[in-house]
Structure 1
């Protein structure tokens, strides 16, 4: 495959992952890992420039969790 074709395939794949996560679905790739949506709780924070307390609202964030198989492969790879 040419570099341009590979780029199109990878970009399409990543677009599908983004669309799935935006739709509230998790993406599981066997032997690689999972892309999931986690909820971050509302919290208090400090605005140090104004010396005030602000509330950071609850929000959803995308998270990648590597599979055990993937972690083991990386861990056992020798450093060059």
Structure 2
């Protein structure tokens, strides 16, 4: 499902226009991105948690040359599915 299909499905379920559903989706995404960027967690009980995680520096290999390189530490976005969401897939 792509964004257009998601917006259409949300609009139908909520009984709102596609434009309103798109605005709501955009607001949700912007809010989650801002919170995760500020190192906050966004917890939606039963659905899951959006957060940022620290990835430690590590050693890797350049696949082209085989030369060892150091991969810098970084922050990455993460999503952990909640129990109710996981149970849907069983």
**Shorter-normalised TM range:** 0.7 to 0.9
The reply to whether residue 31 of structure 1 matches residue 56 of structure 2 is: no
The reply to whether residue 42 of structure 1 matches residue 57 of structure 2 is: yes
Q: Higher helix fraction: Structure 1 or Structure 2? A: 2
TM-score, structure 2 as length reference? 0.78
Q: Kindly report which structure 2 residues correspond to 1:1-80, keeping only aligned pairs within 5 A, or say none.
A: 1-75=16-90
Q: Larger relative CO (CA 8 A, sep 6+): 1 or 2?
A: 1
Structure 1 alignment gaps of length 5 or more: 76-80
Is the partner of 1:31 in helix, strand or coil?
A: coil
Show CA shifts across 1:22-75 (max 9, x none): 111111011100011111111111113233111001111111000011111232
Q: Higher strand fraction: Structure 1 or Structure 2? A: 1
RMSD: 1.0
Counting matched residue pairs gives 75
TM-score, structure 1 as length reference? 0.87
